[in-house]
Amino acid sequence: MYYFSAEKYDYATTNMKEAGEGKFCPFCNSRIEYEYYQYSHIGKFKCPNCNYGDNQIYKLATNIDLKNRKFDVDGITYNIKFNSIYNIYNFLAVITCTSLYSIDTEIVKKALSTFVLNNGRLEELTIQGIPTIINLAKNPTGSNVSLRILNEDDDEKELLFVLNDNVADGHDVSWIWDINFDSLNNVKRIVTSRNSCL
Ligand SMILES: [Zn+2]
């Protein structure tokens, strides 16, 4: 088994700030102890009873700098086009797998530095001259990470929040109660809307 992990980033906390699962050890049911939370229940933890979570780390992200969109692994700096902590974990998975398959680090560096998603997941575009980011969220954790990105970005911005209850995403939208809207502290204006079909 190969594990990857990320060092504490600037907005990590010592308390769980968002909806999270995994408070108890799946092996012995003891309460898991966290050194830090990056977001939701993702962070550095271990079970005080059976040491679950106390793993030897194969790839560790250090010097995580989301403002300048870069991080280090094994002394190599990776530049990325994203400024979200969860993407660091996604890219760590890539770095872990490509390392195990002995893929050239330069190829991985180039791939990560040019990779963008165009399906509404932090998709960047310009609408009438205004830089815009679209993010699709389908659960509290995804939504709360989106709010983190807004809080951690110093630029002036507005939020358009659109909710739908269409078949593809489910008719039950009660999960929005677990979004930490009261943590928003860096948005000039919020506009809400709904997108629904009969
Ligand atoms: Zn345990």
Q: What is the rounded CA–CA span in Å between residue 158 and residue 148? A: 14
Give residue 12 CA to ligand 1 midpoint distance, Å.
Answer: 24
Q: Ligand 1 centroid vs 41 CA: distance in angstroms?
A: 16
Q: Over 90: is that where the pLDDT of 72 sits?
A: yes
pLDDT cut 90: percent of the chain above it: 64
CA of 55 to the centre of ligand 1 (A): 13
34 CA → ligand 1 middle, Å? 13
How many Å lie between the centroid of ligand 1 and the Cα of residue 53? 9
In this structure, are strands 42-46 and 33-39 parallel, antiparallel, or unpaired? antiparallel
The Å distance, Cα 52 to ligand 1 centre, comes to 5
User: Cα(3) to centroid of ligand 1, in Å?
Assistant: 18
pLDDT at 196 over 80: no
Centroid of ligand 1 to alpha carbon of 157 (angstroms): 44
d(CA 63, CA 105): 18
Q: What is the pLDDT of residue 116?
A: 86
How long a stretch of residues is the chain?
Answer: 198
Q: What is each CA distance from 185 to 29, 142, 178, in whole angstroms?
A: 36, 18, 17
Q: How far is the CA of 24 from the centre of ligand 1 (A)?
A: 8
Mean pLDDT of 5-10: 97
Coil, strand or helix at 92: helix
CA of 130 to the centre of ligand 1 (A): 50
Using the mean position of ligand 1's atoms as its centre, give its distance from the Cα of residue 50 in Å. 4
Residue among 148, 145, 121, 116 at smallest CA distance from 133: 121
Given a cut of 80, is residue 139 above it in pLDDT?
yes
**Between 165 and 111, residue with greater pLDDT:** 111
The answer, as to whether pTM is greater than 0.75, is yes
Q: Looking up tokens 């780390």, which residue turns up?
A: 57
What distances in angstroms separate CA 62 from CA 67, 84, 139, one per listed residue? Answer: 14, 15, 28
Q: Where are the domains of the chain?
A: 3-114, 121-195
Q: How far apart, in Å, do the first and last CA atoms of the chain sit?
A: 48
CB atoms closer than 10 angstroms to residue 83:
18
Q: Which of 33-42, 93-102, 142-151 has the highest mean pLDDT?
A: 93-102
Binned at pLDDT 50, 70 and 90, residue 20 comes out as confident
- CA–centroid distance, 5 to ligand 1, in Å, is 19
CA of 23 to the centre of ligand 1 (A): 11
Q: Count each helix (H run) and each strand (E run) in the chain, helices first.
A: 3, 10
Q: How confident is the model at residue 17 (pLDDT cuts 50, 70, 90)?
A: confident
Helix (H, G, I), strand (E, B) or coil at 30: coil
